Amino acid sequence: MIGQQRSFGRRVLLAAIRQNSPIARIDLSEQTGISRATVTTVTAELIRAGLVEEVAAQGTEMARGRPRVDLKIRGAAHLVAGIKIANSSLSLVLMDFEGNQLAEHSHVLSKTTLGTEALVEELAGALGDMLTPLGKSVSDLSGVGVGIAGIVDVQQGLVHWSPSLSDRNINLRSAIDTALGVPAFVDNDANLVAMAEKSFGLGREATDFIVVTIESGVGMGIVINNEIYRGTRGCGAEFGHTKVHLDGALCRCGQRGCLEAYVADYALLREASVTHAGAGALTGETDEQRIEALLQRAHDGDPVAGNIVLRAGRMFAMGLANIVNIFDPQLIVLAGERMQSNHLYAEEVIAGIKDSIVQVDQSPPEVVIHRWGDLMWAKGAAAYALEGVEEMAVEALRAGEI
Amino acid sequence: MIGQQRSFGRRVLLAAIRQNSPIARIDLSEQTGISRATVTTVTAELIRAGLVEEVAAQGTEMARGRPRVDLKIRGAAHLVAGIKIANSSLSLVLMDFEGNQLAEHSHVLSKTTLGTEALVEELAGALGDMLTPLGKSVSDLSGVGVGIAGIVDVQQGLVHWSPSLSDRNINLRSAIDTALGVPAFVDNDANLVAMAEKSFGLGREATDFIVVTIESGVGMGIVINNEIYRGTRGCGAEFGHTKVHLDGALCRCGQRGCLEAYVADYALLREASVTHAGAGALTGETDEQRIEALLQRAHDGDPVAGNIVLRAGRMFAMGLANIVNIFDPQLIVLAGERMQSNHLYAEEVIAGIKDSIVQVDQSPPEVVIHRWGDLMWAKGAAAYALEGVEEMAVEALRAGEI
DNA sequence: TGATTTAATTTGATTTTCAAATTAAAACTG
DNA sequence: CAGTTTTAATTTGAAAATCAAATTAAATCA
């Protein structure tokens, strides 16, 4: 149940090399507490296996003594893909073992909700579309990471329910495994952004942090002790349905007082619709455009619009402060792709958090904003695949498959 | 930085024996994934060192084959004390290495807030008072666990601030270490109850759970992956200062809308004082008696009193639901010693939680009530000491000190 | 050119672990 | 009751993982 601690050294050293990218053996020894002798032995093995490579001298050339030789992950060792299954599309990235993005692709789904077989088929098709221009094929991949909205049992690769799947309780992992002939790693998409931040983003330096995303809903990913925390039922952290008001505004989920019911787009438009600044009066065809108009009005000094936006920001700050009071993380990353969520990231909101958390001598956690594009989700999925492939590679080493 | 994985086997096996108390070697092997050969070798070593002992045949005597021989922690191996530093008193317990309580004691502090030296002196005195009737002395102890309110850096044993200490930024661990000549383990008292539940209480079976306590304030302890989660600034989970209402009721901490400002005793009395059921009208000298009277009125059908109590309960349910939405724990333990907090543990409150969490197919986390006495804090402190002493014992084994 | 300095490797154990074979201790069995 | 069966624990012999100390390697400095 506890699992083997075998290959502990290989695992730790490979992870340390990945984290600190170009790093000399002596620093690895320092960092990990593993003796220099063992570092030499193990890294030699990793190099022989093709997972790691030496790189030419680093920047500082002036040192006395024997120059250190930096090590890094060997990108060419493996190829992985990351796929995010969104509402009506797939976004894909191709990544090498070092985490370099080699290609990206997007694919429009034929339907919003698909059967398992049809979904896997579209997935395989999209993968092929990304790979063939590069002269690669699916069989060149060592792993595929897949992120999907819904309730996912990561351990088993089971999707209990998802808006993208018409079937329930599907083992998506094994379905993809067998269809593609490539190991698949499936996770709830709420965790993808946390994974992406941990692997490639602002969370690289932190061991305990929280990522909050605002898209159509409000999502959260939790990293504790350098690992994604998934809760026990695997339905992810439902920050958006955290209650911020007893018997408050009605939420899409049917309950009252959810944070989402105050800060999501639909919540802002609902408020706007009942005032003289009514939603009808807001120019714009789409909701996005109307939100844009509302924010513009607030910015221009319209008191009603300003009031709407202000309350949303204050509610958001309150929700975040609660997270801080409970978790006390090193870092909170506010991540999102859409500029219109800008108002929630305003300086006043961040200041509001600091006013609502328990005051101690130490400084409050850092709150940073990370604005990124659509691809971050797919990158997070790829990071999952990388983690899995790394694990498999170490296991293969242990089993003596050179 | 990663630390040694040496003695991994010893550590894991000793922990497994402690957790599953009387357990045969073959089951240990099964549970931990460590081979039977190694289990034999390592347990032999643990027995030789006196940390573990064999116990006579277990209940079921009917089995075929060679009978299994159960192992258990040897209580006599070590003696630890747990001390909780409360407002105006110390509670102490004496515990053997197996976790059996051998004695208890309480001591009234000369002042509420003391200097470090004076506090340590009273501590030593109280310890002596507990030990001498048993013919023991402080030097017989292998460790002392100490829980203190305030902001504690557990890693370093530093108390940044505490209501019980007039000094700031004191290394209480080293102060006790040197004064008593016994290794001390100091922690924030919010974590003590979590530790007690994990070691002796309802959390023994769970790996991820949350303990909420209601005393004069509202506290919380978090166990993730079988370890106390402390956050990064070590000030503990401030569940009581979680905000449940924007610009809400004024809290003792000076902020508004804290959960505590709705459910703590003072909050209920404040409400009562402004109605015809006013606090003055509540019979009773002390706050506790007046609370008792208020609850009685609510129970008897007084609408105003009922309303006050109802809202408190609903706020509490909301706060708990937020925890569930964020953490998704297996189990929530509502722990407390005072019966008057009863209204917050009512069935309706627990039902209220279930109505406010995101619905998934799986069943919601279990919510259990654990009513315990004053000593639980001290027991938690003792559990800390046990953990530390166990660690030291394993290390000593590794270093070859038989 | 040799001394100095620092990094990496080798050497020769020691420690930890395990699979397979063996022994131990019981209950059945005819 | 002697032999068989069954299950638990131990022994045996070897492999794997790790380390401290000694050695070698590759640079700069004087």
**Separation of alpha carbons A400 and A134, rounded Å:** 32
Instruction: Give me the count of residues in chain A.
Output: 402
Q: Which of B2, B237, B239 sits opposite A33 (nearest CB)?
A: B2
Instruction: Give me the count of residues in chain B.
Output: 402
Mutate to test the interface with B, among A259, A263, A322, A357 (most CBs of B within 10 A): A322
Are A5 and B8 an interchain contact pair (Cβ–Cβ within 8 Å)? Answer: yes
Confidence label for A3 from pLDDT (cuts 50, 70 and 90): very low
**Separation of alpha carbons B84 and B379, rounded Å:** 9
Are B148 and B189 a contacting pair, CB within 8 Å? yes
> In Å, how far from its chain's centre is CA A209?
12
User: Which bases of chain D come closer than 7 Å to a protein CB?
Assistant: 5-13, 16-21, 25-29
The answer to whether residue A134 is domain-embedded is: yes
Are A243 and A253 a contacting pair, CB within 8 Å? no
Q: Please give the pLDDT value at position A276.
A: 59
pLDDT higher than threshold 70 for residue B59: no
Amino acid at A81: A
- Residues A116 and A226 reside in one and the same domain: no
- Residues A157 and A218 reside in one and the same domain: no
Residue nearest to nucleotide D21 (CA to C1'): A37
Are A224 and B224 an interchain contact pair (Cβ–Cβ within 8 Å)? Answer: yes
Whole-number Å distance, CA B67 to C1' D7? 7
- CATH number of domain containing A66: 1.10.10.10
Size of interface A-B (CB pairs under 8 A): 159
Are B380 and B102 a contacting pair, CB within 8 Å? no
Residues with CB under 7 A from strand C: A 4-6, 24-26, 36-37, 39-41, 43-44, 63-69; B 6-10, 33-38, 41-42, 61-67, 398, 400
pLDDT higher than threshold 60 for residue B126: yes
**Least confident among B76-85, B121-130, B269-278:** B269-278
For range A92-98, the mean pLDDT: 98
Mutate to test the interface with B, among A7, A12, A34, A328 (most CBs of B within 10 A): A328
Distance from CA of A127 to the nearest CA of B (A): 32
Q: Which of B56, B73, B90 is the last residue of a domain?
A: B73
Are A12 and B2 an interchain contact pair (Cβ–Cβ within 8 Å)? Answer: yes
Question: What is the H or E stretch that residue B182 is in?
Answer: none
Q: Please give the pLDDT value at position B339.
A: 47
- Residues B244 and B347 reside in one and the same domain: yes
Amino acid at B308: I
- Residues B251 and B280 reside in one and the same domain: yes
Distance from CA of A204 to the nearest CA of B (A): 16
Q: How far is CA A197 from CA A96, A203, A327, A337, B224, in A?
A: 18, 5, 18, 14, 22
Radius of gyration of chain B (CA): 23
Are A3 and B33 an interchain contact pair (Cβ–Cβ within 8 Å)? Answer: yes
Exposure string of A68-106, with b = 16+ CB inside 10 Å and e = fewer, is bebbbbbeebbbbbbbbbbeeebbbbbbbbbbeebebbb
Q: Indicate the DSSP class of residue B358.
A: P
**Least confident among A38-42, A278-282, B159-163, B180-184:** A278-282
Q: Please give the pLDDT value at position B24.
A: 94
For range A39-63, the mean pLDDT: 86
The encoded tokens of residue B256 equal 């508004």
- Residues A254 and A299 reside in one and the same domain: yes
Whole-number Å distance, CA A80 to C1' C2? 53
- Residues B230 and B357 reside in one and the same domain: yes
The encoded tokens of residue A272 equal 């706007």
Domain that holds residue A98: 78-188+376-398
The answer to whether residue A85 is domain-embedded is: yes
3-state secondary structure of B84: strand
Distance from CA of B4 to the nearest CA of A (A): 7
The answer to whether residue A198 is domain-embedded is: no
pLDDT higher than threshold 90 for residue B345: no
Dihedral (CA of B356, B362, B364, B365) sign: negative
Are B49 and B397 a contacting pair, CB within 8 Å? yes
**What would the 3-class secondary structure string for chain A be?**
CCCCCCCHHHHHHHHHHHHCCCEEHHHHHHHHCCCHHHHHHHHHHHHHCCCEEEECCCCCCCCCCCCCCEEEECHHHCEEEEEEECCCEEEEEEEECCCCEEEEEEEECCCCCECHHHHHHHHHHHHHHHHHHHCCCHHHCCEEEEEECCEEECCCCEEEECCCECCCCEEHHHHHHHHHHCCEEEEECHHHHHHHHHHHCHHHCCCCEEEEEECCCEEEEEEECCEEECCCCCCCECHHHCECCCCCCECCCCCECECHHHHCHHHHHHHHHCCCCCHHHCCCCCHHHHHHHHHHHHHHCCHHHHHHHHHHHHHHHHHHHHHHHHHCCCEEEEEECCHHHHHHHCHHHHHHHHHHCCCCCCCCCEEEEEECCCHHHHHHHHHHHHHHHHHHHHHHHHCCCC
Nearest alpha carbon to residue A216 among A92, A352, A307, A88: A88
List, edge to edge, every strand of the sheet that includes B331-336. Answer: B227-229, B218-224, B209-214, B331-336, B366-371
For range A361-369, the mean pLDDT: 78
Distance from CA of A12 to the nearest CA of B (A): 8
The answer to whether residue B115 is domain-embedded is: yes
- CATH number of domain containing B154: 3.30.420.40
Count up the domains in chain A and report the number: 3
- Residues B59 and B146 reside in one and the same domain: no
Q: Please give the pLDDT value at position B4.
A: 45
Give tens-digit pLDDT for A296-339: 888 888 888 888 888 888 898 899 888 888 888 889 998 877 64
Are B317 and B337 a contacting pair, CB within 8 Å? no
**Least confident among A45-49, A122-126, A266-270, B167-171:** A266-270
* B318 chain-A contacts, CB cut-off 8 A: 243, 246, 257
Nearest alpha carbon to residue A320 among A359, A291, A349: A349
**Separation of alpha carbons A112 and A26, rounded Å:** 53
Q: Please give the pLDDT value at position A300.
A: 85
For range A55-60, the mean pLDDT: 68
Task: Give the nucleotide with minimal C1' distance to the Cα of B68.
Answer: D8
Q: Please give the pLDDT value at position B274.
A: 79
Most confident of the ranges A173-182, A350-359, B368-377: A173-182
**Least confident among A309-323, B282-296, B385-399:** B282-296
- Residues B42 and B168 reside in one and the same domain: no
The answer to whether residue A195 is domain-embedded is: no
pLDDT higher than threshold 50 for residue B358: yes
- Residues B292 and B365 reside in one and the same domain: yes
The answer to whether residue A292 is domain-embedded is: yes
The answer to whether residue B195 is domain-embedded is: no
Whole-number Å distance, CA A46 to C1' D27? 26
User: Which bases of chain C come closer than 7 Å to a protein CB?
Assistant: 4-12, 15-20, 24-28
The answer to whether residue A13 is domain-embedded is: yes
- Residues B263 and B387 reside in one and the same domain: no
- Residues A322 and A346 reside in one and the same domain: yes
Query: B54 burial class (0-12, 13-18, 19+ CB within 10 angstroms)?
Result: middle
Answer with the residue of higher pLDDT: A289 or B139. B139
Task: Give the nucleotide with minimal C1' distance to the Cα of A61.
Answer: D27
- Residues B115 and B218 reside in one and the same domain: no
Q: Which of A2, A326, A356 sits opposite B32 (nearest CB)?
A: A2
Are B326 and A326 an interchain contact pair (Cβ–Cβ within 8 Å)? Answer: yes
Q: What is the mean pLDDT of chain A?
A: 87
